[in-house]
């Protein structure tokens, strides 16, 4: 904790010394955002000394964690005590502070909500340069509740105290196939409500859409023992396994990172799923942060765009989004998405908010489904970049859903503040960043400043 206090004082001092009018931006080695900005813009705050787990307390089932700590390091610290965070986002280099301010999700979200719902206390560097400790019941409760979905525009989480969940060493997986999206959504709702399937407890639920007549729900349960364990960190590929087997076993660690090795299925864009390439690929590079760096390089130098022009391929639009709809509207969204966009696979993850959070107004106690899709789609002749993403935004809004803001957004300003509760946002923004030192949510997430 003494080292943490020194790190806090250093970042507070650094922010105070930044040039007047320069918008601060955290400097960290990895990012999982897909809003690409000019790296020369903004005044950088070095957060490298805020990436440690301060303490894990197995007696209370809590942990004190610095904001820039990755979930990979957090899990490494909690698992020896038999605990994990209540929600562990699927990519190793997502940070705890990033998941709280930017809304992480995973297969325990149908019962545990989103990562911020396990937070008991946050130490925050606010836009006015002050350090405050925010809890749900103290004088900074307004900041505590507005922090989720604020994406660093209200301040930066320096330290968080979170609740943990007791785990078992293994996880048993059951892959259930459906040939109809409506029946799949109905089954998801029933399983999440009961917390069980065919009389057996279910601890984790997610799913994969390969097409209108091929959908899978993956139901996972903690186990003390396993007859065998699969390994998807080498030649075998996790998402392909559900099409050939209905039962599987993983260690708890491998279950948590089952999606990271191939960045869900996005590694195929780099040829990593081809047997020869996969055999030659160093295992240490088969992880999401390496693939994300490749995407960043491609965006910076326009490599794939040059190849497409040389081959006379159609222009492609980047469609990288996570959206939520109520589970009863999920089949409608999948029908729209398959018809108008056509990208597969699509990740499906149920979630239920246990309380109201003003900047991402999910209805308390209502089951939603997160749909995640990430890739490039060829644009129809005469259409321009943003065509598909705008279609998706309009569809999600019409289905009473919400869209995460980690990637490109195209909302006009009035619609944006209506959808993301601008009235609540600006009350907190004016209280903790009265001079507007930090970007506001629209400038950061839509204008991309």
Residue range 401-421: mean pLDDT, rounded: 95
What does pTM read for this prediction? 0.94
Q: Are strands 119-126 and 155-166 parallel, antiparallel or unpaired?
A: antiparallel
Domain that holds residue 235: 170-258
Q: Is residue 429 situated within a structural domain? A: no
Question: What was the pLDDT predicted at 240?
Answer: 97
- Check residues 274 and 28 and name the one with the higher pLDDT: 274
In a domain, 199, yes or no: yes
5-23 pLDDT, tens digit each: 999 999 999 888 888 777 8
If asked whether residues 343 and 394 sit together in one domain, one would say yes
- In a 10 Å sphere around its CB, with 0-12 CB exposed, 13-18 middle and 19+ buried, how is residue 353 labelled? buried
For residues 10 and 157, state if they share a domain: yes
In terms of domains, do 161 and 176 share one?
Answer: no
Q: Please check whether residues 159 and 179 belong to one and the same domain.
A: no
H or E stretch covering 377 = strand 367-378
Q: What is the pLDDT of residue 104?
A: 94
- The predicted structure's pLDDT at residue 434: 94
For residues 160 and 219, membership in a common domain is answered with: no
For residue 211, name the pLDDT band (cuts at 50, 70, 90): very high
Burial class from Cβ neighbours inside 10 Å (0-12, 13-18, 19+) for residue 87 reads buried
> What pLDDT does residue 25 have?
80
- The pLDDT value recorded for residue 47 is 85
Same structural domain, 68 and 140: yes
Q: What is the CATH number of the domain that holds 395?
A: 3.30.70.2520
Of 144, 165, 186, which residue is a domain's last?
A: 165
Which CATH number fits the domain that encloses residue 37?
A: 3.30.465.10
Residues 144 and 218 in one domain: no
Give the neighbor-by-neighbor strand order of the sheet with 204-211. 247-251, 170-178, 214-223, 204-211, 346-352, 367-378, 316-326, 402-403
Token pair in block for residue 288: 């999401």
The reply to whether 184 and 160 lie within a common domain is no
Residue 223 domain-assigned?
A: yes
Give φ, ψ of 57 to 5 degrees.
Answer: -110, 100
The verdict on 71 and 182 lying in the same domain is no
Side-chain half-sphere CA neighbours of 167 within 13 A: 26
Question: Do 21 and 152 sit in the same domain of this protein?
Answer: yes
pLDDT for residue 87: 98
Answer whether residue 346 is part of any domain.
yes
Distances in Å between the Cα of 203 and the Cα atoms of 3, 77, 105, 258 are 37, 22, 15, 16
Which of 165, 200, 225 terminates a domain? The answer is: 165
CB distance 19 to 51 below 8 Å: no
Examine residue 276 and state whether it is found in any structural domain, yes or no: no
pLDDT band at 32 (very low <50, low <70, confident <90, very high): low
pLDDT at residue 148 in the model: 97
pLDDT in tens, 172-184: 999 999 999 999 9
The percentage of residues in the chain with a pLDDT greater than 70, rounded to a whole number, is 96
Choose the final residue of a domain: 120, 146, 165. 165
- Is 343 in the same domain as 225? no
pLDDT given at position 41:
63
In a domain, 378, yes or no: yes
Quick one: which of 446, 308, 291, 322 has its CA closest to 378? Answer: 308
* Counted domains in the chain: 3
| Position 223 pLDDT exceeds 90 | yes
295 within domain boundaries: no
Shared domain for 404 and 307, answered yes or no, is yes
Q: Check: CB of residue 251 under 8 Å from CB of residue 232.
A: no
**pLDDT of amino acid 44:** 80
Residue 95 lies in a domain: yes
Segment 419-436 mean pLDDT: 96
pLDDT band, very low/low/confident/very high, at 40 (cuts 50, 70, 90): low
């Amino acid at each position: 904790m003494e080292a943490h206090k020194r790190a806090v004082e250093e970042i507070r001092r650094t922010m105070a010394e930044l040039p007047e009018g320069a918008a601060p931006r955290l400097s960290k080695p990895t990012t999982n955002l897909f809003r690409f900005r000019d790296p020369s813009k903004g005044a950088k705050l070095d957060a490298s000394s805020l990436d440690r787990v301060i303490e894990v307390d197995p007696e209370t089932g809590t942990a004190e964690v610095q904001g820039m700590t990755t979930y990979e390091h957090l899990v490494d610290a909690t698992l020896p005590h038999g605990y994990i965070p209540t929600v562990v986002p699927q990519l190793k280099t997502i940070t705890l502070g990033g998941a709280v301010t930017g809304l992480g999700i995973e297969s325990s979200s149908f019962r545990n909500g989103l990562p911020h719902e396990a937070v008991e206390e946050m130490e925050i560097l606010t836009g006015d340069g002050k350090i405050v400790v925010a809890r749900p019941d103290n004088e900074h409760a307004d900041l505590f509740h507005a922090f989720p979905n604020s994406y660093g525009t209200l301040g930066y989480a320096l330290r968080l105290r979170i609740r943990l969940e007791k785990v078992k060493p293994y996880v048993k997986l059951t892959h259930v196939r459906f040939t109809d999206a409506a029946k799949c959504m109905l089954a998801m709702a029933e399983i999440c409500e009961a917390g069980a399937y065919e009389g057996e407890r279910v601890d984790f639920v997610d799913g994969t859409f390969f097409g209108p007549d091929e959908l899978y729900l993956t139901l996972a349960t903690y186990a003390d023992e396993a007859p065998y364990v699969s390994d998807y960190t080498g030649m075998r590929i996790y998402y392909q396994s559900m099409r050939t087997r209905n039962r599987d076993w993983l260690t708890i660690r491998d279950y948590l990172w089952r999606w990271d090795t191939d960045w869900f299925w996005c590694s195929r864009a780099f040829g990593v799923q081809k047997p020869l390439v996969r055999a030659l690929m160093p295992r240490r590079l088969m992880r999401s942060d390496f693939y994300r760096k490749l995407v960043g390089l491609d965006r910076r130098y326009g490599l794939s765009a040059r190849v497409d022009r040389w081959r006379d391929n159609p222009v492609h639009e980047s469609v990288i989004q996570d959206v939520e709809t109520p589970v009863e509207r999920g089949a409608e969204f999948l029908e729209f998405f398959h018809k108008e966009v056509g990208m597969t696979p699509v990740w499906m993850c149920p979630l239920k908010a246990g309380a109201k959070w003003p900047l991402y107004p999910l209805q308390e106690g209502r089951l939603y489904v997160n749909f995640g899709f990430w890739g490039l789609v060829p644009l129809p002749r005469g259409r321009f970049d943003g065509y598909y993403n705008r279609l998706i935004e309009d569809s999600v809004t019409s289905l009473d859903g919400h869209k995460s803001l980690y990637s490109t957004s195209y909302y006009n300003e009035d619609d944006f503040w209506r959808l993301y509760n601008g009235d609540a946002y600006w009350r907190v923004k004016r209280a903790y960043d009265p001079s507007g030192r930090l970007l506001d949510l629209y400038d950061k997430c839509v204008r991309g400043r």
